[in-house]
Amino acid sequence: MKKIIVLIILILIYGKSIALTYQTVEEKPLPHALGFFKHLQFNINTNAIDIYCVKLSPDYQARLYQQPETNQILANYINQLNQTFTIAINGGFYTPEYQPVGLLMDHNKKINSWAKSSLLSGCVRMNAKGKLSIGENKSECIKAWSALQAGPVILSQGNSMQFHSFVNQSPRLQDFFNENYRTIVAMSTQQEIIILVTSPVKLNDIAGILQHFPKAFMVNKIKTAINLDGGSSTGLYIQFATPFYFHEKKPVKTFIFFNPS
C-alpha cells in the first residue's frame, strides 16, 4: 500500500480559498494489462472524499449494455449480469418507468432520441472500434456509432464549468449539485480515458479536483469530463482475483463495459 500526502491551500472553487489534502491509499494494475486502478482520498477542509479511479490503457474496447427488463424490481445489479466484462460502470439516467432518458445509440442504431435538457448537455460516445470520447453537445452525439446522453459536462477545454445558472433556473436542482455519489468519465489532452466513482461530493468540488490535480489521476491534464447517473445508481465493478465492487444501491438501466481489445 502506497501513501502520498499533499497539503495545499489554493483558490479552487468560485474564488474561494480552501484547505485540501489528498493521499493515494492503493494503486495496482488492472487485469489483462487494461490500465491502472487507484483509490484516492481527498480532504476538502474537513470533508473526506473517496475516489476510485481507473485509467485505461489504449488497448481497451468499450460497449454499451441496456438491461432488457422493463421493471426495475426484476432487473439485475452489476454482479448479477450474465455478461462478459473486465470493468463495468453504471451508465445514463432513467425514468421512474425504468426507461433511458435521452439519446441512446448502439451500433449505429438509435434506441432512444435526444432529450432537450440543459443538464444532460453531452454524451459518452464510442466509435466502431469501441474507443471512447466525450461529446459536449447534441451535434457531436447524434452521429456517433454508439452514444449515451449524460451530463452535465463538468470540464471543457481543461476548465471546470460554472453551475450557478442551473440552480438559478431551478432551485430544486440544488440537491443534484450538492453532495452525492458520482460516476464520471474523463478524457485527457492525450486522449487517455479515466473513469471514476466517488463517495458523496459536490459537483463543483469534483470538477475542481479533476482540473487542478490531474496527476493524481495518472495524466498530465484533463481536457473534458462528464457526469453520468450518480447517487444510488453509482456502481463500479472490476474483475480482480478478488473483485472490487462499488455497489449500486438500485439496479440501473444502462452500463458501459470495458474489455481488452
Buried b / exposed e over 112-146, threshold 16 CB at 10 Å, is bebeeeebbbbbbbbeeebbbbbbbebeebbebbb
Residues 51, 52, 54: CA angle, nearest 5 degrees: 130
How many structural domains compose the chain?
Answer: 1
- Minimal CA–CA distance to 120: which of 145, 146, 138, 106? 138
Per-residue pLDDT of the chain (261 residues; tens, 9 = 90+): 455 555 454 444 445 566 788 999 999 999 999 999 999 999 988 789 999 999 999 999 999 999 999 999 999 999 999 999 999 999 999 999 999 999 999 999 999 999 998 889 999 999 999 999 999 999 999 999 999 999 999 999 999 887 766 666 676 778 888 899 999 999 999 999 999 999 999 999 999 999 999 999 999 999 999 999 999 999 999 999 999 999 999 999 999 999 999
Looking at residue 18, its pLDDT comes to 66
Residue 195: its pLDDT value, please? 98
- Residue 42 forms part of a structural domain: no
Q: What is the pLDDT of residue 111?
A: 95
User: In 10 A of CB 197, how many CB atoms?
Assistant: 22
Q: Which domain holds residue 101?
A: 54-260
Residue 75 lies in a domain: yes
Indicate whether 22 belongs to any domain: no
**What is residue 63's three-state secondary structure?**
strand
How far is residue 140's CA from residue 117's CA, in Å, rounded to a whole number?
A: 15
Structure confidence at residue 21 (pLDDT): 87
Residue 66 within any structural domain of the chain: yes
Do the domain assignments include residue 34?
Answer: no
Q: Is residue 9 part of a domain?
A: no
Residue 203: strand, helix, or coil: helix
pLDDT for 9? 44
User: How far from chain centre, in Å, is Cα 217?
Assistant: 13
pTM recorded for the entire structure: 0.92
In a domain, 249, yes or no: yes
Residue with cell 426484476: 74
- Rounded CA gap, 132 and 112, in Å? 19
Residue 157 lies in a domain: yes
Whether residue 204 contacts residue 173, with contact meaning beta carbons closer than 8 Å, is answered with no
Distance of CA 196 to the CA centre of its chain: 5
Cβ neighbours of 111 (radius 10 Å): 14
